[in-house]
């Protein structure tokens, strides 16, 4: 099945009269150019860089690029006997068609497509128009030579997605991750009460907990940086049937491999009519996983703000609440959470849908891939919000110190562990250390004096007793500070 346009039919007069505009002015909002979605409306400025890579116009520009490069490759490789090579000037003129592709070209392609009712065929005719009446006129029938639409589309999408990842998404994601890592280094020594299952637990440092998140994000970035972008150009069912029928003596497998690699992509030697899209599913799974780690960061930071460990001190000109003037709401992190959830859901759908195509071809991938930009857009918007949120934070060590001082019972772990070690080393009276600390600490608050009195009465070796008596919740952070160096 060929790739066909999805241009909607115009509404009938009866349908129009049955659905009047809801605007009081009588002018339909659609006619005023109002965006349907938030990405092209409220958040347009943030996601605009993706338009250059993942929009419908970008798809058509990349289709033109692939057609131009295929024409150049056919002639330079002498794959078709009798076809002369392009001159340097002719190849430059063809590539200029791609480089200058703009709004007028988009409109012209739309006009052609209304006649062809086929988007890739419209690109073929558009390029042939550019060649007509020039020195290139004798080569017009090499445009789209032996190609099915998916030969052009799969390569175009690979170029588009690669550009969006490498030029837009990765720089933004890397910048955010580096900022989290810098915060971790700056706050490495700030002690903080940990909470496991929401309950007071072994103290840590704020920097170490941020380092955990930065490390997780970097692992996903490393996977995304190593992503492969596959492509194929092998005809209607991946057999080079038309190629051999037209020119049986050319090594079309090598011509195909050379062309895909010329585009900077990884050649896929075995496909149906479509490139199988497995690389896309792999990439989108990694992107969704990055999103979810970032979501975890946002929820943790939101919680730290709610308990006072972070204060929002910058951007005070903003309105936190329409009725409560004291509030500065953590809206950047909440916005990021929502957009990460939307992005991840879309990426999941893309990954699940694109790996299946009935027999040698169905068209589900065509509609699905048109949502790639939306999935990336919500992730990019979340990155922007998370970065802006982090930039407006200051740590509040005094709040963390108050929490630590109110939870001396967390030292119970340290004391019972030291008792175990002392008992193993031969110290008498170290029996049932866990049970004795549980009796002291469970379900009750223990202050410093009570903890030190308990330690003093255990009969510990002097060096162990002195070490434990000197310990406070703020100093019981183990190697937390040093672990930040693993970043």
Residues with catalytic roles: 197, 321
Q: Which helix (H) or strand (E) holds 201?
A: strand 199-205
Distances (CA, A) of 485 to 208, 212, 361: 9, 11, 51
Cβ atoms of 484 and 188 closer than 8 Å: yes
Separation CA 469–CA 352 (nearest Å): 58
Count Cβ atoms below 10 Å from residue 391 Cβ, excluding itself: 11
Nearest residue to 405 (alpha-carbon basis) of 413, 397, 394, 417: 397
Would you say how long the chain is, in residues? Answer: 487
Is residue 116 classed as helix, strand or coil in its secondary structure? helix
Phi-psi region of 359 (alpha: psi -120 to 50; beta: other; left: phi over 0): left
Separation CA 381–CA 343 (nearest Å): 10
Separation CA 329–CA 319 (nearest Å): 9
Nearest residue to 187 (alpha-carbon basis) of 210, 157, 155: 210
Percent of the chain that is helix, strand, coil (3-state, to 5): 60, 5, 35
Q: For residue 320, which phi and psi values (nearest 5 degrees)?
A: -80, -40
* 288-291 CB contacts, 8 Å cutoff, 24+ apart: 288/343, 288/344, 288/347, 288/348, 288/351, 289/220, 290/173, 290/217, 290/220, 290/221, 290/224, 290/379, 291/340, 291/343, 291/344, 291/347, 291/379, 291/382
Separation CA 13–CA 17 (nearest Å): 6
Q: Residue 394 forms beta bridges with which residues?
A: 311
Cβ neighbours of residue 271 closer than 8 Å, sequence gap 6 or more: 232, 234, 238
């Amino acid at each position: 099945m060929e790739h066909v346009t999805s241009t909607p039919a115009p509404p009938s007069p009866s349908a129009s009269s049955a659905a009047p505009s809801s605007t009081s002015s009588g002018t339909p909002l659609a006619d005023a150019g109002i965006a349907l979605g938030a990405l092209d409306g409220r958040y347009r400025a943030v996601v605009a860089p993706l338009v250059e890579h993942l929009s419908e116009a970008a798809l058509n520009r990349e289709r033109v690029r692939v057609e131009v490069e295929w024409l150049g490759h056919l002639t330079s490789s002498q794959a078709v006997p009798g076809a002369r090579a392009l001159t340097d000037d002719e190849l430059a003129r063809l590539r200029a068609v791609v480089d200058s592709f703009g709004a007028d070209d988009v409109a012209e392609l739309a006009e052609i497509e209304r006649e062809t009712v086929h988007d890739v065929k419209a690109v073929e005719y558009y390029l042939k128009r550019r060649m007509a009446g020039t020195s290139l006129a004798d080569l017009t029938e090499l445009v789209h030579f032996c190609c099915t639409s998916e030969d052009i589309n799969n390569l175009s999408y690979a170029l588009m997605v690669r550009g969006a990842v490498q030029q837009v998404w990765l720089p933004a994601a890397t910048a955010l991750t580096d900022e989290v890592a810098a915060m971790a280094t700056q706050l490495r020594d700030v002690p903080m009460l940990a909470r496991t299952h929401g309950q007071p637990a072994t103290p840590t440092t704020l920097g170490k907990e941020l380092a955990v998140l930065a490390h997780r994000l970097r692992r996903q970035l490393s996977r995304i940086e190593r992503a492969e972008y596959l492509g194929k150009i092998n005809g209607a069912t991946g057999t080079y049937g038309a190629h051999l029928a037209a020119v049986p003596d050319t090594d079309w497998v090598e011509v195909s491999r050379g062309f895909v690699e010329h585009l900077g992509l990884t050649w896929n030697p075995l496909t149906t009519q479509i490139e199988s899209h497995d690389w896309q599913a792999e990439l989108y799974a990694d992107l969704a996983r990055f999103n979810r780690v970032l979501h975890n960061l946002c929820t943790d930071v939101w919680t730290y703000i709610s308990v006072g460990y972070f204060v929002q001190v910058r951007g005070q000109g903003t309105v936190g609440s329409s009725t409560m003037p004291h509030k500065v709401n953590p809206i950047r992190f909440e916005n990021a959470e929502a957009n990460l959830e939307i992005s991840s859901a879309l990426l999941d759908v893309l990954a699940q849908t694109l790996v299946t195509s009935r027999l040698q071809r169905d068209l589900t991938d065509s509609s699905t891939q048109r949502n790639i930009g939306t999935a990336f857009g919500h992730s990019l918007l979340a990155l922007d919000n998370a970065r802006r949120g982090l930039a407006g934070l200051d740590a509040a060590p005094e709040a963390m110190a108050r929490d630590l001082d109110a939870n001396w019972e967390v030292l119970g772990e340290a004391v019972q562990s030291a008792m175990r070690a002392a008992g193993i080393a031969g110290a008498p009276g170290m029996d049932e250390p866990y049970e004795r600390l549980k009796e002291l600490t469970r379900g009750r608050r223990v202050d410093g004096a009570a903890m030190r009195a308990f330690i003093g009465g255990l009969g510990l070796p002097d060096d162990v007793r002195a070490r434990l008596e000197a310990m406070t919740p703020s100093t019981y952070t183990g190697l937390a500070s040093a672990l930040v160096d693993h970043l």
